[in-house]
Amino acid sequence: MSSDPSPQPPLATLPGVLELPRIGAVKRPSNFSYYGPVSPRLVSEAAQFLTTRTDVDFMAVSPYLDSYLNSTSADCIGSDAEKSACWFLIRITQSGDQWKIPRWHQDGRMYPYDTGRESVVRSKYGTTLLGPHTLMLPAAPHLFDILKQSKEIFWFWQGEKDVFAQTTAAQRQDSMFEQRIWLAEEYKNEELVELRKGEIIRFSWGRDDSPIHSEPDLVCDRVFLTVLYGSAQELKGMCEMREEVYGKHDAEDR
C-alpha cells in the first residue's frame, strides 16, 4: 500500500471564486445524477438539464460547469487516470420543511479503492448556485466525539447481529430520527464554517475525521452541485454498490 505524499486536510475551500451563472428561480425540483467519464458531453447534458429546470441561460451555465469541473479536477489528488471518472450530482429543490431539523452526518465510503490508493484522502466538492449553503461544521475532535456518542445511544443494533435481526427497519429509522433531533440540539450553538457565494468547498468522505454536515433549511429555491472523482474502476465499483449505470445520466423530476 503506497502512502499519500501530501494528504489533503479533511475540509478546505478552493482558492478563487468562480462567477456564478445567474439563476433567479427553479421551475421544477429535480436531481441530475451521472456516474462515468469526465467529458464535454457531461457538461452539455448537465447544462441542458439546468436550462430546462431553472431560468438559467445555457450559454452562461455551460462555461461555468466546464470551469467547475476543471478547477475541482485540478485540485483532486491523483494522475489523470486516477480521476478520469466522476459522480456528478445536481440537486434542484424548492422551499420545504424537510430539513428544518438538520440531518448532521458524515459521508461514508463511496466506492472500493483501487489497490495501492487505499490511504489517499478522497473528497467531494460542493457549491451552491442558488439558495442556502450546506451547513458544515469544522473538522474538530469534540464534534466527532458528539457524533460518536449519538451512535452509541441511538444505533442500539450496532455490532449486535442478534439485536439487528430482532428489529425492523421502521424501528431503526425511528431511532435514527431521534438521533437527528438529539444532534440538532447538541450542535445548535456550534459555529459553522462560513461559505461565500460561488465558493467551492472540498470535504473528505469515508474517514473518521470526515466533516460533519447537513442539508440547510430550505427556506427558498436551491440549486446545489457536488462532484467526486476516482478511476473508471472505482466509479464502476460505486455503480455496483448503488445499482447505477456507468456512463449515463439520470434525471429524476419530483
Residue found under cell 457531461? 42
Instruction: State which residue, 82 or 107, has the beta carbon closest to Fe ion.
Output: 107
Compute the least distance from the CB of residue 126 to Fe ion, in Å.
Answer: 9
CA separation for the pair 36, 200 (Å, rounded): 21
Binding positions for Fe ion, rule: CB under 5 A: 107
Amino acid 200 reads I
Give the nearest distance from C-beta 107 to Fe ion in angstroms. Answer: 4
First vs last C-alpha separation in the chain: 44
Q: Smallest distance from the beta carbon of 205 to Fe ion, in angstroms?
A: 8
- In terms of CB distance, is 62 or 104 closer to Fe ion? 104
- The residue (of 60 and 184) whose beta carbon lies closer to Fe ion is 184
Q: Which of 196, 190, 236 is nearest to 213 (CA)?
A: 190
Give yes or no for a contact between 102 and 181, defined as CB atoms under 8 angstroms apart. no
Q: Which is nearer to Fe ion, 62 or 127 (CB)?
A: 127
Q: Which position's Cβ is nearest Fe ion?
A: 107
CA distance 46 to 68: 12
Rounded to the nearest whole angstrom, what is the least distance from the CB of residue 136 to Fe ion in the complex?
10
